[in-house]
Structure 1
Amino acid sequence: MTENKKVLVAEDSSVIINLTKNVLMFENYNITAVKNGKQVLDKLSSENFDLILMDINMPVMDGIECTKAIRNLEDKKKADIPIVAITGNYKNYTLDDFKKAGLNDYIQKPLDYDHLLATVKKHLTSTE
């Protein structure tokens, strides 16, 4: 049996964190949740993850700034982690904006949990 994939959820809404956890834990993913980009970088310094779900609008450090910091990490494995943006402001960004920031994909809010699961699976099966 393969090891369960580890997903880091960066989201400042407890409601979205809980719903996302419930959907992904049903598929046996190991979920860790943090509330801002600085906490993402703190977690990454001590743990490895297979995927990051990154809210774009968070306090302390937003998702774009955090993604750019991750892409500049010296640890290449961590710098190359697939990162999927979660955003309610997708109209303010194009897919090109997300790609330039280093994001691999995006999911818009309100979250469609079937789409969330399909997007997570797409990026995790490509890393095996």
Structure 2
Amino acid sequence: MSDQKRILVGEDSSIIINLTRSVLAFENYEMKAARNGKQVLELLEKEDFDLILMDLNMPVLDGIECTKAIRALSDPVKSNLPIIAISGNINNYTIDEFRKIGFNEFIQKPLDFDVVLATVKKYLS
């Protein structure tokens, strides 16, 4: 039985998905990608994950509404997963606003993948 950590990435950019997959694979994390918040919720319903990286600006259901929906889930494990916001619009929010929405942490785009890995490790170690 593998204790490989599983990360769900909500992101609509193929470039960011592929770069993130490469960086996470380097640390032996398994990654699944969803291109919008609705897909994030669908995957979360069917599978277990250890952490979510969530873009704020996605089609269909954005990262903020998706995070609120995750925090409202009846499953105590899934509703308390660490969720890390990813956005180029981080300056539009305060740390308190991010926490109230339900994010544990946030990372500014363009992504610094050393920061992404350090943040992921902080929650999965």
**Smaller-chain TM-score range?**
over 0.9
In the alignment, residue 122 of structure 2 is paired with which amino acid? K
The percent identity for this pair of structures is: 64
TM-score, normalized by length of structure 1? Answer: 0.95
Q: Show the counterpart of 1:25.
A: 25
CA–CA distance in structure 2, aligned partners of residues 70 and 21 of structure 1:
22
Q: Show the counterpart of 2:120.
A: 120
Deviation at 1:83, TM superposition (A): 0.2
Q: Show the counterpart of 2:83.
A: 83
Q: What 5-or-longer segments of structure 2 have no aligned partner?
A: none
TM-score, normalized by length of structure 2? Answer: 0.97
| Superposition misfits of 4+ residues, deviation over 6 angstroms | none
* Secondary structure in structure 2 of the residue aligned to 1:70: helix
Deviation at 1:96, TM superposition (A): 1.1
Q: What 5-or-longer segments of structure 1 have no aligned partner?
A: none
* Secondary structure in structure 2 of the residue aligned to 1:76: coil
The alignment yields a C-alpha RMSD, in angstroms, of 1.0
* Secondary structure in structure 1 of the residue aligned to 2:49: coil
CA–CA distance in structure 2, aligned partners of residues 91 and 62 of structure 1:
17
CA–CA distance in structure 1, aligned partners of residues 117 and 107 of structure 2:
10
CA–CA distance in structure 1, aligned partners of residues 9 and 25 of structure 2:
12
* Secondary structure in structure 2 of the residue aligned to 1:106: strand
